[in-house]
Structure 1
Amino acid sequence: MGAAKLPIRRASPKVDISDSASPLSELSNDSTEKERRRAKIARASKPKVRTGCVTCKIRRVKCDEVKPSCNRCTSTGRTCDGYYIPPRKNRRIDHDAVIELSTTPERCLEVVAGTGEELRALEFFHARTAPNLSSYFDAGFWTRLVFQVSHVEPAIMHAMVAVGHLNQRRDVWTKPLPMLKSVFLVDDQPNVPGLSDRIVVGPTKRKVIDHDDPFALSQYNKAISLLSQRIRDPDAASEIALLACILFVCIEFLRGDVEPAFRHFKSGMGIAKASLTKSSLTKPTLTMELIREGMLPFFNRLEVLAMLFGQAPKHDYHITIDEAVPAHFSTMQDARDSIVHLSNIGLRFIRNMKKGRYARLVLPDDFVRQAVLEREVERWKEALDALILTDTVSLRDLDAAKVLRVHQIILTVWLGSCCHIADSYLDNFMADFEAGVTLGEEIQRNAATIEQRRTNQPSFLFDMELVSPLYYIAIKCRDPNIRRRAIALLRQTRRREGLWDSNMAAAIAERIAALEEVNLSTLDGSELPAEEDRVHNTEISTMVSENPHEHTLRYYSKAYGLDKEFKVWTERIVLEMDPGPNTRPELLY
């Protein structure tokens, strides 16, 4: 436990093809003059048709260009791979923002009706948002499926416009600087140790850039209205509503609103589960497969996020612990889905133990269940290691595997410590904490080399990757050196993953570290905070509509003893951004 390195896969031997003979070199030298003249006869000049589907172009047949899938392909049982258009380079998106598009044709809708502002948002979604949302997984969903459905479903198109517009504004105006200032405002305990002299008291109003953006809200409302009309039809496909729910959640993530995001998630989860019940077996097989394999994994991951933000699950998880980890993984997607299942099952157990351990009600059966979960997490790690050693894994898959390993390490630590009341029990997992930070640093270094070849870094991801596990390490690892490495990584990440904002997470972790380390005589790692100085839990709430940079923190510690009541106090933390080349200047306090 705690090994940071992934298994080393031997590189396949490279074959030098530089000396391979070209088929053209085998033409006979005694070709007749007539044949040579015939070869030189120019083809009749006709305008090239660039609007057919990809499959028909490859087959060199005329495409009937029916959207979203042409009849020429579907009538013969083939899969229509959609339509390409060459992206326009250096199209000006905003007054001062220029987007560099790839010269490689990307999958996109061929013709879209809309206003100039709508088309600019769609272009941004196509060029930047969809590839970034895909991250290591889900490329087919964001770059292909969403576009195909939006061509025939106006609700999906307007939701895409809202997502693209909000993501564009976030990239252009609100890209965080490497470091942010933090101002702490104390609500009910002015003498909390560790506060700096920069205490501000009074109203903290700030102009909200993205939350109440009129254009985004207009598109969002159009999408909701059109979807409401669409689902009144009893024959309406449930996958349309599920896709809309995912996009609505994405909009609320960009706006930073927790409650509406989870309302959409719960609504979508209900639709997904109802669609997969036995009473729905009359649905076409392809529809069921799309829901099960294309949509439901999104809601499984959102369920993990909801529990991390304090939402209690209302039902048992639909996968049992015996089904969560297969004998082997065929793809990295299988490994990702499996660790999501383990996280959903494990977090339910951890939530139950959170109440039980403080009441001293952890039973022998609980320790048995804990051991079963830990064993399955170890089986998952072994299956991932076996997959990495195969020849089917790409370099991108290896980076994805590191992200999954970080999540597995955090789940291991959390499960291993959840039955113990003392927070100091976490000190037994220092090797795991360091392994997680080391993997995070490797991922960050590799990402930096990739971003150097790109104009802009992604500032928003739909799924959780590194921010949430690094935040856990930063608040639960009490070794000052490892903790500061985790905080530094959060500062460097500079993006939002779902509802996890890296700069907010770093600022809160720094504040918790200051509270816990106030009585330490050295920060070299030779001594750790005492149990009574440790923050056991932190509740975070944000009034996004008033000030998305202000967060109310409620801390819980066992300052009076493990068997005594919690010490509880509240602070407000306000993140200030300095004006810079990529930020809109605002009036600070």
Structure 2
Amino acid sequence: MGRGNAATDLGLTRRPKKTKSRTGCRTCKIRKVKCDEGWPTCHRCASTGRTCDGYGIWGGGDNPRSQGGVSGQNNHPVLRLTTPASPRVLDAAERDCFEWFTLISAKKLRGIFSSAFWDKLVFQASFDEPAVLHAVLAIGSIQRQEMAETRDVTYGFMVPNDDEQFMLRHYSKAIGHLVAQSQVKDQPSVDAVLLTCLLFIFLEFLRGHYKNAQTHLGNGLKLIRQAGCSLSKSGKSNITLSPRHRIDRDILETFSRVQVQVGLLRPLDQYFESDLVFEAEPVTGTFKSIEQARESLDRLINEALQLTEGCRQDGVDESSHQQRIRTGLDAWYNTYSLSTVNIDTTMSFMDKFGYRLLQAYYTMARWRTAYVELFYRTLILDICRLIAQARSSP
């Protein structure tokens, strides 16, 4: 006679194993119960008198220790490590790529302007979100190939080398994690998906696949619309239609800036989708920082791009809107001129270079507003000025 199962012989039944909550608050994850993901604290914790420890890097919770997460109010936490330790368990090649991304890729993609997205949010998310981690490794790999000049841009017609296979493998894993999570009840947070989408956009730009990058951009904007998020006219905070659809402000601003880049560099006859538009706020006196100057100009450029597309699609007379944008651009340039009086004597090299770069963006914004009336002849002087700026830049 077989021994059988002791629990069955005694008439006992096994307690069904609880599934771990993937996207809930930390308290529910520890308790291994389903979290309703209420904001800022989940209702399950509140109704049982427990302290909600929040949602990791996405903030929330009623525990003071959990308030250090990134929020939509720009209260950015300070990382304790200058170079974050590698998240999860990585092999040697993956650790090398993560370190490369940390020390080089993130700084180059950020550019000369500060960015909470690249300086903090991406690194924090790579510890909690597998899709973000694999996208980070893919970017680190491809940029290391570019800088080492070992990547053949014609690889699409050849068998990918080991480095290319490494990049494609992690790109595929990042997509796979998002697909797998979307097929279960505990779907990934909107923030995690949008952050990964942004990394895909930059990855495709680095690969030279601009149409793919624009496809990712369109998908990200579509998800933002589906989440019911629209930006307030003042641009000071998120519009939250429900706790589950709260989107981090740094992610929204990064999408907005990608729109600016794509909009300025696209062919004039190509459709442009401009959903995220912060209304430009007036600045008096001088800019307090180069970041303020950039943010103010970005908003004006986005408005100009939206105006151009609206006139093309609808044929509506937007002359008053156009004049308002031009007035805003003129006011921006006056403030810029006052802010850069002593550019060669008092500013750091990076600020000096940044202000000159902003002047080039300003010139391109003037082109876009002039496009509405097709006054290209009046822009010859601007073109000459832009070329001169590029030649004189350090």
Structure 2 length-normalised TM? 0.66
Distance, in Å, in 2 between the alignment partners of 1:303 and 1:265 is 8
Distance, in Å, in 1 between the alignment partners of 2:91 and 2:221 is 33
Distance, in Å, in 1 between the alignment partners of 2:311 and 2:161 is 38
**C-alpha spacing 1:76/1:393, structure 2 compared with 1 (3 Å):** farther
Aligned length: 310
Distance, in Å, in 2 between the alignment partners of 1:280 and 1:382 is 35
Contact 1:332 1:400 in 2 (8 A): yes
SS at match of 2:112: coil
Distance, in Å, in 2 between the alignment partners of 1:342 and 1:239 is 26
- Deviation of 1:252 after TM superposition, in Å, equals 1.1
Match of 1:419 among 357, 366, 373: 373
Match in the other structure for 1:378: 330
| Deviation digits for residues 8-51 of structure 1 (CA, Å, limit 9, x no counterpart) | xxxxxxxxxxxxxxxxxxxxxxxxxxxxxxxxxxxxxxxxxxxx
Distance, in Å, in 1 between the alignment partners of 2:299 and 2:57 is 33
**C-alpha spacing 1:210/1:282, structure 2 compared with 1 (3 Å):** farther
Contact 2:130 2:177 in 1 (8 A): yes
Q: Percent identity?
A: 23
Distance, in Å, in 2 between the alignment partners of 1:281 and 1:352 is 26
- Deviation of 1:325 after TM superposition, in Å, equals 3.8
- Deviation of 1:257 after TM superposition, in Å, equals 1.5
Q: CA RMSD in A?
A: 3.9
Match of 2:174 among 223, 227, 231: 223
**C-alpha spacing 1:206/1:224, structure 2 compared with 1 (3 Å):** closer
Match of 1:400 among 354, 357, 374: 354
- Deviation of 1:158 after TM superposition, in Å, equals 0.7
| Deviation digits for residues 394-439 of structure 1 (CA, Å, limit 9, x no counterpart) | 5422321111111101222342354237xxx42x333322322222
Match of 2:301 among 338, 343, 359: 343
Q: How does 1:545-584 map onto structure 2 within 5 Å?
A: none
Structure (1 or 2) with the larger CA radius of gyration: 1
SS at match of 1:327: coil
Contact 2:141 2:167 in 1 (8 A): yes
Match of 1:151 among 127, 131, 144: 127
Distance, in Å, in 2 between the alignment partners of 1:166 and 1:158 is 12
Residues 1:258 and 2:210 are matched in the alignment: yes
Distance, in Å, in 2 between the alignment partners of 1:240 and 1:384 is 36
Match in the other structure for 1:333: 291
Match in the other structure for 2:251: 295
Contact 1:83 1:110 in 2 (8 A): no
Q: How does 1:436-515 map onto structure 2 within 5 Å?
A: 436-443=386-393, 445=394
Match in the other structure for 1:309: 266
| Bigger proportion of residues as strand | 1
| Bigger proportion of residues as helix | 2
Match of 1:170 among 146, 154, 158: 146
Distance, in Å, in 1 between the alignment partners of 2:206 and 2:374 is 37
Higher RCO, 1 or 2 (CA under 8 Å, sep at least 6)? Answer: 1
SS at match of 1:108: coil
Distance, in Å, in 1 between the alignment partners of 2:334 and 2:125 is 39
- Deviation of 1:118 after TM superposition, in Å, equals 1.4
- Deviation of 1:228 after TM superposition, in Å, equals 2.2
Match in the other structure for 1:75: 65
Contact 1:406 1:436 in 2 (8 A): yes
| Deviation digits for residues 455-507 of structure 1 (CA, Å, limit 9, x no counterpart) | xxxxxxxxxxxxxxxxxxxxxxxxxxxxxxxxxxxxxxxxxxxxxxxxxxxxx
- Deviation of 1:160 after TM superposition, in Å, equals 0.6
Distance, in Å, in 2 between the alignment partners of 1:132 and 1:318 is 24
Q: How does 1:1-16 map onto structure 2 within 5 Å?
A: none
| Deviation digits for residues 251-294 of structure 1 (CA, Å, limit 9, x no counterpart) | 11122222321221122122334445389444289x54x2x2x0
- Deviation of 1:351 after TM superposition, in Å, equals 4.5
SS at match of 1:107: coil
Gaps of 5+ in 1: 1-66, 85-105, 177-204, 446-589
Distance, in Å, in 2 between the alignment partners of 1:369 and 1:139 is 30
Match in the other structure for 2:21: none
Distance, in Å, in 2 between the alignment partners of 1:237 and 1:111 is 19
**C-alpha spacing 1:306/1:131, structure 2 compared with 1 (3 Å):** closer
Contact 2:257 2:298 in 1 (8 A): yes
**C-alpha spacing 1:417/1:228, structure 2 compared with 1 (3 Å):** closer
Structure 1 length-normalised TM? 0.46
- Deviation of 1:369 after TM superposition, in Å, equals 4.2
Match in the other structure for 1:409: 363
Residues 1:244 and 2:196 are matched in the alignment: yes
Residues 1:435 and 2:385 are matched in the alignment: yes
Distance, in Å, in 2 between the alignment partners of 1:408 and 1:122 is 36
- Deviation of 1:120 after TM superposition, in Å, equals 1.7
Residues 1:119 and 2:95 are matched in the alignment: yes
Contact 1:211 1:255 in 2 (8 A): no
- Deviation of 1:150 after TM superposition, in Å, equals 0.6
Match in the other structure for 1:523: none
Contact 2:134 2:173 in 1 (8 A): yes
